[in-house]
């Protein structure tokens, strides 16, 4: 991430009701628990407007709650043009959203856009799969991946 100190992080998936709000909640939990000294603003958004204004999927809320993470106050929003300049790091949940973000972003901001799973190099997946059309286990798997990536992200921010 160069010499720039990361102050704002945006987590992005397609609709902003499953993966990216879960990433936001997981990373907020990691910060509060392990790095209350770090001054980092975090948010989440979607590349599509399917669910703008809606809370996270009830299954995401329930799975996160079982791990002590509260997503209930979050509301879906779409990535805005100004986000590319505002956020120091924009973390996509998968390759499709990564490409969509790079398509929309001015070239000067492309270095800020990365995959969330880059921070979990030993994880079984390079992307966070969308659990929306699957069963309950998919939401648990998403949490496992995001918890690992969140720890890696925190380690990188501490460096």
Locate the domains of the chain by residue range. 8-158
- How far is the C-alpha of 51 from the C-alpha of 128, rounded, in Å? 19
Answer whether residue 4 shows pLDDT above 60.
Answer: no
- The confidence band for 6, taking pLDDT boundaries of 50, 70 and 90, is low
Give the rounded percent of residues in the chain with a pLDDT score beyond 70.
96
- The per-residue pLDDT for 83 is 98
Digit-coded pLDDT (tens) for 70-82? 999 999 999 999 9
Question: What CATH superfamily is the domain 8-158?
Answer: Response regulator (3.40.50.2300)
Identify the bridge partners of residue 8 per DSSP, sorted by sequence position: 41
Answer whether residue 2 shows pLDDT above 50.
Answer: no
- The per-residue pLDDT for 1 is 46
Digit-coded pLDDT (tens) for 103-131? 999 999 999 999 999 999 999 999 999 99
Question: Which are the catalytic amino acids?
Answer: 13, 19, 130
Instruction: Work out the mean pLDDT of the chain and round it to a whole number.
Output: 95
* DSSP class per residue in the chain: -TTSPP-EEEEEESSSSSHHHHHHHHHHHHHHHH-TT---EEEEEESS-TTTTPPPPHHHHHHHHTTT---TT----B--TTHHHH-SEEEESSHHHHHHHHHHS-GGGGGGEEEGGGG-TTSS-SS----TTS-HHHHHHHHHHHHHHHHHHHHHHH-
Give the rounded percent of residues in the chain with a pLDDT score beyond 90.
96
């Amino acid at each position: 991430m160069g010499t720039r100190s990361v102050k704002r992080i945006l987590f992005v998936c397609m609709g902003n009701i499953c993966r990216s709000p879960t990433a936001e909640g997981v990373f907020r939990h990691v910060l509060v628990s392990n790095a209350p000294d770090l001054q980092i603003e975090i948010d989440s958004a979607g590349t599509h407007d399917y669910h703008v204004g809606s809370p996270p999927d009830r299954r995401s809320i329930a799975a996160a709650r079982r791990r002590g993470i509260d997503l209930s106050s979050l509301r879906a929003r779409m990535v805005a043009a100004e986000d590319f300049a505002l956020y120091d790091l924009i973390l996509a949940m998968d390759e499709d959203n990564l490409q969509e973000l790079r398509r929309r972003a001015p070239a000067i901001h492309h270095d800020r856009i990365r995959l969330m799973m880059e921070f979990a190099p030993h994880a079984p997946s390079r992307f966070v799969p969308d659990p929306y059309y699957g069963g309950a286990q998919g939401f648990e798997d998403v949490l496992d991946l995001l918890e690992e990536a969140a720890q890696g992200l925190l380690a990188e921010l501490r460096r």
